[in-house]
Amino acid sequence: MSTKLLFDRIDEPGLNTLAVYERRGGYESLRKALRMTPEDVLGELEASGLRGRGGAGFQMGKKVSFLPKGSIEKYLVCNADESEPGTFKDRELMQKSPHMLIEGIVIAAYAAGATRSFVYIRGEYVLQADILDAALKEARAKGYVGEDILGSGHSLSLLVHRGAGAYICGEETGLLDSLEGKRGNPRLKPPFPANQGLYQGPTLINNVETLSTVPAIVRMGGAEYAKLGTETSTGTKLVSVSGHVRRPGNYEIELGIPSREIVYGLAGGPPEGREVKCWFPGGSSAPVLTGAELDIPYDFDSLAKAGSMLGSGAIIVVDDSTPILDLALKVAKFYRHESCGKCTPCREGTNWTVKMLERIDCGEATPMDLEIMASVCDHIIGNCLCVLGDAMAMPISSMIAKFRDELEAHIENRRLVAA
Amino acid sequence: MSARGWDMPADLEKYPATIPDPASTPVPEGLRREIEAHMALYPDSRSAALPALEAAQRLHGWCSPEAIEQVACVMGVTPASLDAVATFYDMLETEPVGEHSVYVCTNISCSLRGADELYAAVRDAAGEDPAFNVRAFECLGACDIAPMASVDGAYVGPLSVEDVPRLLEDARAGREVLPEMQLARRPCADPEAGR
């Protein structure tokens, strides 16, 4: 039996209501936190080693500590714009246990000294936003959110803000512009949001899963939480497994277990008679790994060492029935559509990559095109305000590197057919 | 994707529209109240642009020039600044569309499980029907029920081509679409999560 912190009896009927959540000990962590000083709460978060669950994997406690001290108005924004292809964990958390997120937000805001908070939820998540709004209403009525929370003197406003469909709004500075009522174009960094974020004020931005973990950390104590997982990837993680597996869905795992246990053990592996050709370990932005790389431990550092990343924890499994070119085209077209167009390398690079991949499909490409494509990808990486372009360049480069023979054969076949 | 903005030349003879004059811009009372309520929630009222445009779209069916003008009037901003916003987001429509939206996810996980065939089937059945707004959509965050669609905001899946006629019938009748396939009632996949 593995440890369940986020998914513990997640399907209990009525868990989305305050009554059931409180009966299960909900908001006790908030009471405990409010009896501590904000510095001590921050200390627990730092001791937990919790790394951001949205994609970048940055230490949450450290992020909180970057906010300036003093009486300046600070903001907390929960990133619920879950749009990374393959990711659907925050959706299940918000739908089934919205109070856990609200409790986490209030505690994190207390530690950070933030007095205004927002949940930026993607517009497509209508059901989840409605559930969050209903839960928030209950939490406000009970005094868990609002003025002078439980008589502590600490106040926090919280608002659920619905997006309107744009992948880039999951990028933290694009999200801030969108929350300010503009097009969701990413901003130049620095200044980082911790110094100048929402309305130019210091802003802490965290993912839904990260904030939902906070009540458990306060309950257990940071040191106890850090015993779960590995030394540098502590705790449990929700993984969203999809694609060619028999049991797609969300699973809560302890970080550091072999990836094979997730793909085959939990999700059931590919259908009868099929093999894993490749898999994205952390959303479609992560470089692909092959079926031979399934024994890598599933944690931040092991995946980085293998040349990929844990990202949002979205595992997309692709079996041997899928040509790698089809996969590359899907990936490239997505990023072309979602590029905001602000930076030239990304706007042009994603477009040209799609065109070159299509050229392969119509039999007009030569093997040299693979070199050009790889060089286009090289020129995108690190040259834009945000990592959207990199998020296409990394998986495409990995496909060219790992499946070059197949792509070259594809080019040759299509050329012969066209001729 | 709409051709507005990128492919149409600007009319150089025309001056950009200024902030609409409340005295000469009629705004339906309900819409005005809804937008003002949103504006009051934020430290900077301009943050209300997305909820305000969503409200106007709900009333007008799409972000028509008239809808944009009404929002601009209440918010005290130029129509162009809202046009810029409306053209950026996939869920804001800058052309007239059918009343019932059917977003078929065609991103990687769904397409690995047959989403492209599903989308073609929905298009064939309802693409020309003025009651529907059929679109291929980027990852909707429901790869566990792939291939799936969001029908008037409700997630359903896993869908097969055979489900398409009933899906459209339910949507047209305004009732819950394919109740047994609604994501809202799906239990967690993790066998140890439990009740």
- Convert the pLDDT of each residue in A79-112 to its tens digit: 999 999 999 999 999 999 999 999 999 999 999 9
| Contact at CB, B89 and A167, closer than 8 angstroms | no
Across the interface, do B47 and A161 touch by the CB < 8 Å criterion?
Answer: yes
- What are the C-alpha distances in Å from B189 to residues A9, A196, B160? 12, 40, 21
The predicted structure's pLDDT at residue A214: 98
Question: Which of A11, A83, A91 minimises the CB distance to B187?
Answer: A11
> What is the rounded distance in angstroms from the CA atom of residue A390 to the CA atom of residue A386?
8
Residue A71: Cβ-neighbour burial (10 angstroms; 0-12, 13-18, 19+): exposed
Count Cα atoms within 13 angstroms, Cβ side, for A168: 31
Indicate which of B4, B74, B88, B176 best probes the interface with A, i.e. most A CBs within 10 Å of its own CB: B88
* Residue A373 near residue A356 (C-beta atoms within 8 A): yes
Q: Count the Cβ atoms, other than its own, within 10 Å of residue A123.
A: 22
Tokens standing for A49? 């080693």
Q: Are A149 and A114 in contact (CB under 8 A)?
A: no
Kindly report the pTM of this predicted structure: 0.96
Task: Please confirm whether the linkage preceding B96 is cis (ω < 30° from 0).
Answer: no
Sheet strands (E) in A81-145:
116-121
Angle at A172 (CA atoms; ends A147, A336), nearest 5 degrees: 145
Q: Do residues A251 and A241 lie in contact, with contact meaning Cβ atoms separated by under 8 Å?
A: yes
Tell me the shortest Cα–Cα distance from A1 to chain B, in angstroms.
7
What residues of chain A lie within 8 A of the CB of B48, using their CB? Answer: 181
Q: Is the Cβ pair A159, B183 closer than 8 Å?
A: no
Distance from the Cα of B135 to chain A's closest Cα (Å) equals 13
Interface contact flag, A124 B44, Cβ < 8 Å: no
Task: Confirm or reject contact between B98 and chain A (CB < 8 A).
Answer: no
Closest chain B residue by Cα to residue A252: B190
Residues of chain A with pLDDT under 70: 1
Instruction: Find the farthest-apart pair of alpha carbons in chain A and give their distance in angstroms, rounded.
Output: 79
CA distance A230 to chain B (A): 21
User: What residues of chain B, 45 to 84, have a C-beta less than 8 Å from chain A?
Assistant: 46-51, 53-54, 84
How far apart are the CA of B14 and the nearest CA of chain A, in angstroms?
24
Whether the CB-CB separation of A100 and A6 falls below 8 Å is answered with yes
Q: Check if B194 contacts A (Cβ < 8 Å).
A: yes
Q: Residue B2: its pLDDT value, please?
A: 43
Collapsing DSSP states into helix, strand and coil, what is residue A234? Answer: strand
| pLDDT at residue number B4 | 54
What separation in angstroms does the CA of A321 have from each of A32, A272, A276, A278, A331? 53, 12, 9, 11, 17
Whether cis (ω within 30° of 0) applies to the bond prior to B43 is: no
Q: Which of B109, B137, B183 sits opposite A86 (nearest CB)?
A: B109
Confidence (pLDDT) at B116: 97
| Tokens 């209508």 belong to residue | A126
Q: Residue A356 is which amino acid?
A: M
Buried b (16+ CB within 10 A) or exposed e, B54-76: bbbbeebeebbeebbbbbbbbbe
Cβ of B46 and A180 within 8 Å? Answer: yes
Report the pLDDT value the prediction gives residue B92, as an integer from 0 to 100: 97
Cα–Cα separations (whole angstroms), residue A37 to A113, A115, A218: 11, 16, 12
Task: Tell me how far apart the alpha carbons of residues B104 and B157 are, in angstroms, rounded to a whole number.
Answer: 10
Contact state of B146 with A199 under an 8 Å Cβ cutoff: no
Residues of A in contact with B137 (CB under 8 A): 124, 165
Residues of chain B with pLDDT under 70: 1-7
A123–B144 C-beta distance less than 8 A: no
Res A1: pLDDT: 61
Q: How many CA atoms lie within 13 A of B137 on its CB side?
A: 32
> In whole angstroms, what separates CA A32 from the centre of its chain?
28
Q: What is the pLDDT of residue B3?
A: 44
DSSP state of A143: T
Residues of chain B neighbouring A11 (CB-CB closer than 8 A): 187-188, 193-195
B44, B51, B54: residue with CB nearest A199: B44
The pLDDT score that the predictor gives to residue B1 is 39
**B139 shares contact with chain A (CB less than 8 Å):** yes
Selected residue of A115, A182, A257 to mutate for chain B interface (largest B Cβ count, 10 A): A182
Q: Where are the beta strands (DSSP E) in A17-146?
A: 75-80, 116-121
Look at residue B7 in the predicted model and tell me its pLDDT. 66
Please write down the HEC assignment for all residues of A198-209.
HHHCCEEEEEHH
Looking from the CA of B191 toward its CB, the CA atoms found within 13 Å total: 7
Pairing of strands A276-280, A249-254: unpaired
For the record, the structure tokens of B91 come out as 């869920």
Residue of B nearest to A167 (CA): B138
Contact B187 A180 (CB under 8 A): no
ipTM, 2 dp: 0.95
Give the gap in angstroms from C-alpha A250 to the nearest C-alpha of chain B.
Answer: 6
